[in-house]
Amino acid sequence: MKIQLSIMGIILVLILSACSKPTAYGKADKTPYATKECIRELSRGAEIDHSNTIDKLVAYKGKRKMYAYKNGKVVGEYSFSLGKNGDKGNKVKAGDYRTPEGTYRIVRKKCDARLYKSLMISYPNQTDKARARTKGVNPGGYITIHGQPKWNADGRGDAFTLSRDWTEGCLAVPNSAMDELWKAVENGVKMEIHA
């Protein structure tokens, strides 16, 4: 039992570097995520299913649930993990491992060899920047909705990853959910994150 817990701890440490910095795409892409194909898809705009787009995402940190809306109706529900201090309030500064709360936009899609696909959120907004300035801290940034780490490419570890908060402030959904969002979300979609 102790060995099993130690292994789980090691795995958790390996995934904690989740969403702090952008990664470079190397020439030898041997990930299960087919990063090069993802980039080609994005460059053609082929990832969007225009007949099935959504216009808003609303996440509730306390419930660990995110809802996708189209024309005011819920069309999708997704479970997620938070930053490892995500339940300790709003994000204040870089490195606090908290997930922000507020109104944002999806500003970019990113193909990522470490964490499947990502939807970048417009954090920090003006309110976030002002709050950080009054405290004399850097608000941080690079907050995304992203899929799972490489070791969970097939989703068999979703029960493990969704049962704990492990990111650096991002919202981590199963890869199957990320695929749905990837096809339905265009840049500019409104994103609300509530406590």
Quote the pLDDT of residue 132.
96
What does the pLDDT look like over 120-137, one tens digit per residue?
999 999 999 999 999 999
> DSSP secondary-structure letter at 63?
T
Q: What is the pLDDT of residues 89-121, one digit of tens each?
A: 999 999 999 999 999 999 999 987 788 899 999
Low-confidence residues in the chain, pLDDT < 70: 1-33
Nearest to 175 by CA among 149, 156, 148, 151: 148
Look up tokens 């795409």; give the residue: 25
Domain ranges within the chain, ordered by starting residue: 33-194
Q: How many residues does the chain have?
A: 195
Structural fold of domain 33-194? L,D-transpeptidase catalytic domain-like (2.40.440)
Query: What is the predicted pLDDT for the residue at 3?
Result: 52
The pTM for the full model equals 0.81
